[in-house]
Amino acid sequence: MKRLLVMLLLLPLPTYANDYLFAAGVALHTIDWGQTRDIERNPDISEGNIVIRALFGRNPTPAQVDAYFLITGVTLTWAFHKIDKGKRIPFGLAWISQSLITVSANKEIGLEIRF
């Protein structure tokens, strides 16, 4: 995961940078989604996302996880395309950074990607 971030940062940021950042953000969001669904199979692990925990408790159901990630995915997609083109790169890098930290932490505690 760290390599992905480094590669993205080392790429020259051409016109297509927004597309690369968006694709990376969606990919990491989807990985996090699959990892979060794996919590159900691991009752010893509780949800760490404060928003999910506030909405659904420490052990959300797959349907609750799906609803959360679908809504946040649509919202992030909408926001990414609505903000000024000049602000998309910082937004994309923030999205990727946050998602990369989350996915890495999930991996460290043993969560797998499961749908």
- Give the DSSP letter of residue 110: T
Q: What pLDDT was estimated at residue 48?
A: 86
Check residue 78 and give its pLDDT. Answer: 92
Domains: count for the chain: 1
pLDDT at residue 74 tops 90: yes
Residue 113 lies in a domain: no
Judge whether 21 lies within some domain.
yes
Domain enclosing residue 14, as ranges: 2-108
DSSP for residue 41: G
| Among 16-30, 62-76, 92-106, the least confident range | 16-30
Report yes or no on 66 lying in a domain: yes
Indicate whether 114 belongs to any domain: no
Return the SS3 of 104: helix
Backbone torsions φ then ψ of 83, nearest 5 degrees: -75, 160
Look at residue 90 and tell me whether its pLDDT is greater than 60.
yes
Q: Is the pLDDT of residue 58 over 90?
A: no
Strand runs labelled E in 8-106: none
Higher local confidence (pLDDT), 76 or 2:
76
Domain-embedded: residue 35: yes
